[in-house]
Amino acid sequence: MQPQAPMKLGGHVLPALTRATGATGIGTQPLNITIVLARDDEAGFQQYLRDVYNVASPRYRQFMSQAQLAARFGPSQQAYEDVANFMASQNFVVETGSANRLTMTLYAQRGEVEHAFGVHIGDYALSGKNFYANDVDPALPASIAPHVRAVLGLSNLAIPQAGPLKQEEPDIPEENLALWDRDGRHRFRLIIHRNAAALSVRR
């Protein structure tokens, strides 16, 4: 049987790279990477959110704990362990996990990050700012990729800052933390539901 080709995770290349120039001397320090896992039942989770914030619903304000959310909607413990074991096999060190199994923060040397995700992380300059970034989307084995929704930390151009909720997101009335790149383009939005103890990722 032929080994399965790696699966690419789209949407991870910064649009700003088209305007950047090559740079040198940014460093080869270890990189901190946060992997955001996909829920097993995203549709069910979105329905849960609508229900707990709908005053007409019998489930109104019946919030689940992080452990209950993970058990009901995923990611499963097996999926989380599969991703963690693969990253460990690539010489990543797991720094922080999460009770709802939606995120894990790891670190590894830059070359190991490149090898694990099949990317080249180059050094760039843009508008007086030096930064590093991947120039292609990351890829993971076909057995792992469906469990991964996003890989954060392949570039240090993006910075976290508070961002307003979009009007088309009425089901999320709680606080949020948005990740934007410095040229103002929206990359990944991490929506943190304080009461539901949940996290979802929007692009």
- Taking only the tens place, the pLDDT of each residue in 170-191 is 333 333 333 333 333 333 444 3
- SS3 of 59-113: the string is CCCCCCCHHHHHHHHCCCHHHHHHHHHHHHHCCCEEEECCCCCCEEEEEECHHHH
pLDDT by residue (tens digit) across 8-38?
999 999 988 889 988 876 667 899 999 999 9
pLDDT at 110 over 80: yes
Predicted local confidence at residue 67, as pLDDT: 86
Q: Are 35 and 106 in contact (CB under 8 A)?
A: yes
pLDDT by residue (tens digit) across 52-83?
999 999 999 999 988 899 999 989 999 999 99
Predicted local confidence at residue 81, as pLDDT: 94
DSSP state, residue 189: E
What pTM does this model have? 0.74
